[in-house]
Structure formats: structure tokens, C-alpha cells
Structure 1
Amino acid sequence: MNSEQLTEVLKTAFPEAEVVVSGQAGKFDLRIVDDKFEGKRTVGRQQLVYAPLNEYIASGAVHAVTIRAMTKEEWRKASLFGA
């Protein structure tokens, strides 16, 4: 699986989100900005992101992910401070 394919999987799961995927060889960095994460703690956000990835993790196509799951407001604030 490459970053473009993983981006499509995530955009299907999060159609309103800004999705940015980088990486290769099964190791990916994910940034998903969606208000669907509002009111959810980190673990809850990660569970939402892992759900559409489980079959790819089980098959070995995705080996490791680093997840940044934020609301639009959180991303706006992070962007102001260069995060």
C-alpha cells in the first residue's frame, strides 16, 4: 500500500476531512482534520482512525502509523504556532 491508496481509504472514511498521508513501506504519518473528533479524547480519535485501517494492518500492508487527529479549530491553532 502506498500513501495515495491510504489517503483514499481515509477520505472514504472521513469525507469531510482534510487528510494528509506521508510515508512508505508500510509506515505512515497521518494528519486528519475533521470536526468528527470534537469532544473525543486521544484514544477515541485513534479508534476512529484505526477502524478503516484494521484490514490493512491485519494483512501487513500497513505496519505502523503515527496519527494526528484534530478538529479544524485545533489545527488552526496548531498552524498559528508552527506545530
Structure 2
Amino acid sequence: MDCKVIEQILTEALSLTEAHVTSDGSHYKVVAVGECFDGLSRVKQQQAIYAPLSEQIASGELHALTIKTFTPTQWKREKLFNM
């Protein structure tokens, strides 16, 4: 599955500020940034990512996902520390 398509699905479904998806074969890494994650537990954040992709996961089009979620404030801090 194309990474840009996954980014578009997630951005539209969750009104994300940023979405970055990379793949290594059948394994996908998702970095999602949005206000929608504010106050949610890690489990709820991951469920928010899985929900719009459930059709692709069920069909086997998406097999393995690594998910990192951030609020815009957390993302700014993350980028600052990883420069």
C-alpha cells in the first residue's frame, strides 16, 4: 500500500496537523500529529489510528504498524530534542 494514501486517509479521518508514513516491505511506521490525541491514553491514541485503516488491515493490505502519536506541542518538543 502506498504511504501517501495512508497519510491521506489518516489526515482526513482525524484532522491531523501532520502525518508521516514510511514502509519497509510490509511493515509501516506511522507518525501522527494532531490535537485529537490530547488527553487520550496510549491505547485510545492507537485505536484512533487503527479505526480509519480497519478496512485495509482486515484485507491484509496493511500488515504491521508501528504507531507514534503526538499533539502539536509534543511534536515541537520531540523535533527540538531530536535535532
TM over 0.5: same fold?
A: yes
Question: In structure 1, what is the equivalent of residue 48 of structure 2?
Answer: 48
Q: Report the alpha carbon displacement of residue 34 of structure 1 after superposing the two structures with TM.
A: 0.2
Say which is worse superposed, 16-25 or 61-70, in terms of deviation: 16-25
| Match of residue 18 from structure 1 | 18
Structure 1 moving runs of 4+ over 2 Å: 14-17
Q: What TM-score results when the alignment is normalised by the length of structure 1?
A: 0.90
Give percent identity, aligned residues only.
Answer: 34
Q: Give the secondary-structure state (helix, strand or coil) at the position aligned to 1:28.
A: strand
Task: Tell me, yes or no, if the aligned pair for 2:36 and 2:71 is still in contact at 8 Å.
Answer: yes
Residue aligning to 1:78: 78
Pairwise CA RMSD:
1.5
Alpha-carbon distance in structure 2 between the residues aligned to 1:47 and 1:22: 19
Opposite residue 77 of structure 2, the aligned amino acid is K
How many residues align? The count is 83
Unaligned runs of 5+ in 1: none
1:67 maps to 2:58: no
The separation in 2 between residues aligned to 1:72 and 1:39, in whole angstroms, is 13
Tell me the CA shift for residue 78 of structure 1: 1.0
* TM-score when normalising by structure 2: 0.90
- Tell me if structure 1 keeps the 8 A contact 2:37–2:70: yes
